Structure 1
């Protein structure tokens, strides 16, 4: 059973989503809330598997709420729901750990499929938004926010670690990397921690940006 919390400042949307999702045999709606502060309170009482998070809410918006939720309980997955496809929101929500980003115009079947996709450990991004995300990361890789790593640090990566880096470059999740390389998710997390430490990078986002711009990575792909 997939436990879902619905967060939206419009009561009509909250209740409509609840009715639809409650009709599914594999989904249970744990609650409906109107803002980010209520989300934080709700997950303390009953941790859902997934939060459907509106991006524009009073008191605390969906982006800041995503950051706090992922710090409080990183296991909870978040799908951002919005009528806005603003670049800043797209990047920040994903940067803070959102697993999905859907426009509110999607059909209920698409929404349910997205919930199931994210629950399985994969990411779900609207096609309209996917191209925007790629462009944002590409711009970051080429611009002032490009990530630099010393060549001597890159040389410390082992062949096994490069396999992980290759998958990060493809946008794979830990679960997908584990399945591809026949490893446990725990082993993948350990590898990722070692790689970040070796390259002196702060987080997975910095690693992903470096991968996009890295000549060393391109050479490894060809090797």
Structure 2
């Protein structure tokens, strides 16, 4: 289908390719290693805070975010990993350690799936269907991870924020939107904000997925 394109045609060189991210990649090897080590320590702190009672009141400083970003780019960007677990429609685990954890948890960037795992709210309309769709497309597959250059690489709970490309060249983020399993998340900016809004509009007008029967009270709070 024409609405899916491969990575090279979606991102220009100055946006995403790691070899052109000059402020980091033009550094000497010793300085890069130093920044990566600082990033690793920053990442360990973020992951610890993810499981700490103070995580809701603490926010990383810009310096800490940049150190983590440099580390994440070196480790994840444009690299391929196996999907070992699907948490819900917009959250997956890939088979590479992250801090003290045996896997890395990815939150798909630019979308919001109906909740199925929240302790605060009940399972939302079309949440199980979104999870099953992500299972079908991604579980057990080798996917390529792309980070969004202008933005932090980690969300407030320490999860990696990424676009995930499937083996057939499609992006999982876009597939979920196009088929009406998730919402375009308008709360945060990213490189494909306008495109994702358009994909959602197409799914909505075509009454695909959740858009066939969803009612206003079934929408996430930020959309109501």
Q: TM-score, normalised by structure 2?
A: 0.30
Higher relative contact order (CA 8 A, sep 6+): 2
Greater helix content: 1
